């Protein structure tokens, strides 16, 4: 029975500054590194065969810290832009509170949390879903079917898109789902790839 573990990268510099990060390549804060270490300690008891991450350094750095923490630095790793964070377009680098003052809380919330509303010149969660899930089905699910245990370290929205698929979360309900930085989520499957358990690892 294979396991899949997903982890959102640790706190980034723009997370700390409350800026829209999106596809901008921003590093972890010292606290983000600690979150990655804690995530590693939490998943140390689970066997892993392969790992996947985005091509953004905050996810890659998180994964490297996790693998060091679990003594698996030689674990095979695949880096792919398919798992990158969604682009927030013109909002990237801007302060979220300033954008609320400019556009109103409802508008900013719809850009951040809705399924198919697109930020100016950016990507919606639907756009993100449309690249993450096909990649998962083609490249990751077959490995789970081979009974391999997989770790994915990526981003809030790319992982929310995957959660939608795995947990059958509706377009409406995904607005209420938030994946905290550095908190692993475990998916357990039976031999027929039926999801038997989804839980945060504490």
Active site positions, annotated: 9, 85
How many angstroms separate the first and last alpha carbons of the chain? 21
* Beta-bridge partners for 77: 51
Please state, as a whole number, how many other Cβ atoms lie within 10 Å of the Cβ of residue 117.
14
CA nearest neighbour of 171 among 137, 129, 199? 129
* HSE of 174, CA atoms in CB hemisphere, 13 A: 26
Distance CA 177, CA 135 (A): 22
Cβ atoms of residues 105 and 98 within 8 Å = no
Please state, as a whole number, how many other Cβ atoms lie within 10 Å of the Cβ of residue 167.
14
Cβ atoms of residues 157 and 92 within 8 Å = no
77-79: strand order across its sheet: 77-79, 50-53, 150-154, 3-8, 185-189, 195-200
């Amino acid at each position: 029975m294979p396991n899949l573990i997903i982890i959102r990268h640790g706190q980034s510099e723009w997370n700390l500054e409350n800026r829209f990060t999106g596809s901008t390549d921003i590093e972890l804060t010292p606290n983000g590194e600690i979150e990655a270490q804690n995530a590693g300690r939490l998943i140390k008891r689970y066997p892993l065969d392969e790992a996947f991450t985005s091509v953004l350094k905050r996810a890659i750095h998180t994964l490297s810290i996790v693998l060091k923490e679990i003594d698996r630095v030689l674990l095979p790793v695949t880096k792919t832009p398919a798992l990158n964070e969604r682009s927030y377009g013109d909002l990237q680098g801007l302060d979220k509170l300033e954008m609320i003052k400019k556009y109103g809380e409802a508008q900013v919330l719809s850009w951040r949390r809705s399924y198919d509303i697109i930020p100016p010149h950016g990507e919606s969660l639907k756009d993100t879903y449309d690249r993450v899930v096909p990649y998962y089905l083609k490249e990751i699910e077959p490995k789970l079917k081979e009974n391999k245990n997989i770790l994915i370290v990526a981003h809030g929205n790319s992982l929310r898109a995957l959660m939608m698929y795995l947990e059958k979360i509706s377009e409406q309900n995904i607005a209420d789902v938030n994946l905290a930085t550095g908190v692993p989520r475990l998916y357990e499957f039976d031999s027929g790839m039926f999801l038997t358990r989804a839980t945060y690892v504490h």
